[in-house]
């Protein structure tokens, strides 16, 4: 088995390799002067089970192209099986047609990864589960819920917990964590009356005097998350924290979180943290390297992956 890390999140690749007692495969991934991607693997991979670690986070197109070229290099190097480990699957939010003449880009990316040479995909908390069906190869969609549940229990186990979904679409994800913690569930119904008018937040559930934990898969601009925190505090919550798998945190998101009522925003290292994220006083990042590494070991040994979440 070999672990190869592209450039999007080298620390995560190194942490996964260390957990598996392996060295990261020696490879050069560089750019020509016109920014073309060039990949050269400096080790023999013939007949090997190779796992390529590469989230397709910002810059999404560059990182996606790195992944595709690396997969092609390994396929042409006669690797026995190639698994694309994509902790954050970019373009996942484009999983359906939102209007006439709009693309389903998540399906396009699935096709590209498959055609480039991947035999299997491992990812974490897909934005929508049906994306697994976009692939004609096996997909292992891992969940951060067990890691989140343990952390919430350790930090807030003695308090009156309320798990909150920031929108109707995330109810299933929030319910899983609420069930693990034997906690109550609330839902925020957000509505925009008309363009240019701020959202109206309606809270389904009694959050007064409760410790509220918002749960979501992606935090990008953080607008919805921060608005939800304000609405919960206005409804009488004792405190509001958030647990989100993928910290995209683009634009002014970090400043927005810092100035919000959020006591803490907890994210995983599926996306490498920027300096602004590392310096933010109320953003904490913890590693899911051990979860990914354990899944990789089980795949390589042909053991069950789903039993990780029992």
Distance CA 134, CA 95 (A): 9
Of the candidates 211, 235, 292, 229, the one whose C-alpha atom is nearest the C-alpha of residue 265 is 229
Distances 109 to 63, 86, 131, 216, 263 between C-alpha atoms, Å: 12, 12, 10, 23, 36
Annotated binding site for ATP: 34-36, 93-94
Annotated binding site for D-ribose 5-phosphate: 192, 216, 220-224
Q: Interior CA angle at 252 toward 248 and 258, to 5°?
A: 90
Annotated binding site for Mg(2+): 127, 167
From the list 107, 179, 190, 194, the catalytic residue is 190
Question: Is 65 in contact with 17 (CB distance < 8 Å)?
Answer: no
- Please enumerate, as own/partner, the contacts of 68-72 that have beta carbons within 8 Å and a separation of 24 or more: 68/112, 68/113, 68/116, 69/29, 69/37, 69/38, 69/39, 69/116, 70/4, 70/6, 70/27, 70/29, 70/39, 71/113, 71/116, 71/117, 71/118, 72/39, 72/116, 72/117
Tokens representing 190? 């957000």
Question: Is 219 in contact with 253 (CB distance < 8 Å)?
Answer: yes
2 part of the active site: no
Annotated binding site: 34-36, 93-94, 127, 167, 192, 216, 220-224
Catalytic residue annotation = 190
């Amino acid at each position: 088995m070999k672990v190869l890390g592209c450039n999007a999140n080298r620390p995560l690749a190194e942490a996964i390799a260390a957990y598996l007692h392996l060295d990261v495969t020696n490879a050069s991934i560089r750019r020509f002067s016109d920014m073309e991607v060039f990949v050269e693997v400096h080790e023999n991979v013939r007949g090997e089970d190779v796992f390529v670690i590469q989230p397709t986070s910002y810059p999404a197109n560059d990182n996606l192209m790195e992944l595709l070229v690396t997969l092609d290099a390994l396929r042409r190097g006669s690797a026995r099986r190639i698994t694309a480990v994509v902790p954050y699957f970019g373009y996942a939010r484009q999983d359906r047609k939102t209007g006439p003449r709009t693309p389903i880009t998540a399906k396009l990316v699935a096709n590209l990864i498959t055609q480039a040479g991947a035999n299997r995909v491992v990812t974490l908390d897909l934005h929508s589960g049906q994306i697994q069906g976009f692939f004609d190869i096996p997909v292992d969609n891992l969940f951060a819920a067990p890691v989140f549940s343990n952390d919430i229990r350790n930090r807030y186990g003695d308090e009156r917990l309320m798990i909150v979904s920031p929108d109707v679409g995330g109810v299933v994800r929030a319910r899983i964590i609420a069930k693990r913690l034997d906690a109550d569930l609330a839902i925020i119904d957000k509505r925009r009356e008309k363009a240019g008018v701020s959202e109206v937040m309606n809270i389904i559930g009694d959050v007064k005097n409760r410790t509220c934990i918002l749960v979501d898969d992606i935090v990008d601009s953080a607008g919805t998350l921060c608005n939800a925190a304000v609405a919960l505090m206005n409804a009488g919550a004792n405190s509001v924290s958030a647990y989100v798998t993928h910290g995209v945190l683009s634009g002014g998101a970090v400043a927005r979180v810092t100035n919000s009522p959020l006591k803490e925003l907890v994210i995983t290292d599926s996306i490498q943290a920027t300096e602004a994220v590392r310096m933010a006083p109320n953003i904490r990042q913890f590693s899911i390297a051990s979860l990914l590494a354990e899944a990789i070991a089980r795949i390589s040994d042909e053991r069950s992956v789903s039993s990780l979440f029992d």
